Chains A and B, each alone.
Chain A
Amino acid sequence: MRTIRPRSSETAVWLSEELEFRDSQEEDLCIDLSGMRQFHPLFAVQLQLFIDWSRSAGRRVSVAPPQRSDVAATVRDIGLRTNADLPIGGAGVPAVPPGDVVMPLLRLMKEDQVDEIADALFQMMNDHLDDVAVVRHAVHAAVSELCQNALEHGENSFGCVTCASRGVDRGSRRFTLAVGDLGVGVPDHVRRQHPDWEVDEYAIGQAVEQGVTGTSLPHRGIGFPSIAEETLASAATGAELRIRAGSGKFRRVIRGANPLPEGGPSPPVRGSWIVYEWTTVAGS
């Protein structure tokens, strides 16, 4: 059995280099979370898909729980599964969240499941989450567009995995949405219409900034721009989008300091990994 100890830090948002989706892996795995200091939603999405992918290849996966009680509670609330399937669709969205995990890990396989969770999450934020309700339209846009994209353009048997949480970080109240899939990836999708865009972070940036689509219909690339539009129309004091796909990464501050996009190369990953974070109350 091979033991993987994912790095734990504020920036352990991205796929730990150890969690590589390499087809050549054959050993059973132990994912050792004992030293983790935080359990970010995007990391949860990545880890869950990695577990699911490993199980589908016949590898047994176990998880050593975090030693810190607060991190262990987050892992429990977020619903990481090692031996069972994730809930599918809206059945997994609680009417009232028990804590800071607003939406536990959910798998979406069909478009009507996106309708279910987007509806449930919007209603929950509207009715019960006063501290983050100001971004409910932006969150609704993000869930709708990102999950729909993952299912429509992802083209893989694992569907799309998503979760959401809220929390306080250095006095700022934040809402975080993570979406991941093991599909073709944003750059390769965009290159179906723009094959000359060989640099992955450039292709990602065009999809985010210019509404470029990989379909043959020019008016279809409205997902990312619409999320930004709803974010700017909201009372969010800050918002940030980060994407990693193919061999590129892209970061865009939608509202806040330094509102310029940043992109660059990154170690290659399978699929697309997206985190959107809104700040509803800025810390002093």
Chain B
Amino acid sequence: MEASPMSADAATRIRLDQFGRVFSTRGRAKSIRFEIENQGSDRVQIILDFDGVSAVSASFADELFGELAQMYIDDKFRAQPVAIGLTAQTQRALLSSLANRKVSDALQRQLVPH
């Protein structure tokens, strides 16, 4: 997995397009999330780069990003997930997931800068 940390243990950047361009199911999200959890368990921040991703379903967005956000909020995962490189559609899907999980507007803007 590609990694370009800002410092040794600060952040990891992960490109989603290495897994594909279109993402549809929770199962797919889970398998990617498990890899992310393994790679980023000792990081302060995980940057999920969606550049090159054409479409994500709501279920995928929720199982990947919503779940990572929830784990971060619940102190079950150290790294703060941040999404970049979003199209209007992928941003919509991620923000809907966070809103559905009752994440505050302020934290939504931190996790999905917009």
A binds B: yes
Give Cα distance in the complex from A144 to B23, angstroms: 9
Of chain B, the residue at the smallest CB distance from A152 is: B26
A residues at B contact (CB < 8 Å): 111-112, 114-115, 118-119, 122-123, 126, 136-137, 140-141, 143-145, 148, 211, 219-220, 222-223, 225-226, 229-230, 233
Shortest B103–chain A CB gap in Å is 10
A-B complex: 10 closest residue pairs judged by Cβ atoms:
A226-B58, A144-B57, A144-B24, A118-B24, A111-B27, A119-B22, A222-B58, A111-B25, A219-B100, A115-B24
Contacts A111-B27, A144-B24, A230-B89 given; does A118 touch B96 at CB 8 Å? no
Of chain B, the residue at the smallest CB distance from A110 is: B27
26 contacts between A and B (CB under 8 A): A111-B27, A114-B24, A115-B24, A115-B27, A118-B24, A118-B25, A119-B20, A119-B21, A122-B22, A122-B54, A123-B22, A137-B89, A140-B22, A140-B57, A144-B24, A144-B25, A144-B57, A144-B60, A145-B58, A148-B59, A211-B100, A223-B59, A225-B58, A226-B57, A226-B58, A233-B89
Which of chain B's residues have a CB closer than 8 A to the CB of A220? 62
Give Cα distance in the complex from A119 to B24, angstroms: 8
B71 part of interface (Cβ distance < 8 Å): no
Interface of B is mostly: helix
Interface of A is mostly: helix
B66 part of interface (Cβ distance < 8 Å): yes
Which of chain A's residues have a CB closer than 8 A to the CB of B96? 222, 226, 229
Q: Are A148 and B25 neighbours in the complex by a CB distance under 8 Å?
A: yes
Contacts A112-B27, A140-B22 given; does A126 touch B54 at CB 8 Å? yes
Which of chain B's residues have a CB closer than 8 A to the CB of A111? 25-28
B residues at A contact (CB < 8 Å): 20-28, 54-55, 57-60, 62, 66, 88-89, 92-93, 96-97, 100-101
Give Cα distance in the complex from A222 to B96, angstroms: 9
Of chain B, the residue at the smallest CB distance from A211 is: B100
Partner of B57 from the list A112, A126, A145, A233 (CB cut-off 8 Å) is A145
Which of chain B's residues have a CB closer than 8 A to the CB of A136? 55
Which of chain A's residues have a CB closer than 8 A to the CB of B25? 111-112, 114-115, 118, 144, 148
Give Cα distance in the complex from A65 to B29, angstroms: 43
Q: Are B55 and A122 neighbours in the complex by a CB distance under 8 Å?
A: yes
Which of chain A's residues have a CB closer than 8 A to the CB of B58? 141, 144-145, 222-223, 225-226, 229
Give Cα distance in the complex from A165 to B83, angstroms: 35
